Amino acid sequence: MNTMRLLLMMRLYTWSSRVYATLFKAHKASWGISKDDFARYAPGTLGKALGDFYEIHAFDVMPKLENHDVFHLLTNTGVAIQDEIAMQYLLLGNGKVSLYLVGMFVLGSIIYPEFIRYYGQHFQRGRRMQRFYHLEFQTLLDQSLADLQCAFSQKTTFVNS
């Protein structure tokens, strides 16, 4: 049963991410940066961390969906299928709403109900974070990953005197 659920979700994820990039991200340009290019960024930068992420997980850069991989790095969210679903909960908590997100949210909740508490924790975490889902991270590839993680980790409240 677990293997069938995983296989179903992986096929849906692979198919839907291609469709999403083609139909819903048609207006968006790819970053045009290869795995080798990311590997050449300075240690500690977001760009280098992306290169390492692709290498460690044996992933290829998915054109037009590069920001999604940044989300994994910013939030330290894993890449197992339940983590991918948890990422959608986190993004929803952060304010993002899209057809793809809602689809993953609904299907993931139905197919993996045993992770509902885990998903809820990610939703709450997204609510506590600075809004980041709308940013184009290509311009921040030279920045420190640790600094970016710190900057987005929680909302800052300013007090006017």
Q: Is the pTM of this model over 0.95?
A: no
CA-wise closest residue to 65 among 41, 45, 84, 93: 84
pLDDT digits (tens, 9 = 90+) for 71-82: 999 999 999 999
The helix (H) or strand (E) run that includes residue 52 is: helix 46-57
Could you tell me what percent of the chain has a pLDDT over 90?
67
91, amino acid identity = L
Q: Look at residues 154, 67, 80 and name the one whose alpha carbon lies nearest to residue 118.
A: 80
Average pLDDT over residues 62-87: 93
> 12-50 in b/e burial notation, b at 16+ Cβ within 10 A?
bbeeebeebbeeeeeeeeebebeeeebeebeeebbbbbb
For residue 149, pLDDT beyond 50:
yes
45 SS3 class: strand
Over the chain, what is the mean pLDDT?
87
CA distance 57 to 118: 22
Q: Could you tell me the two tokens for 78?
A: 């894993």
pLDDT above 70 covers a percentage of the chain that reads: 82
Token digits of residue 19: 């469709």
**Confidence band (pLDDT; 50, 70, 90) for 158?**
very low
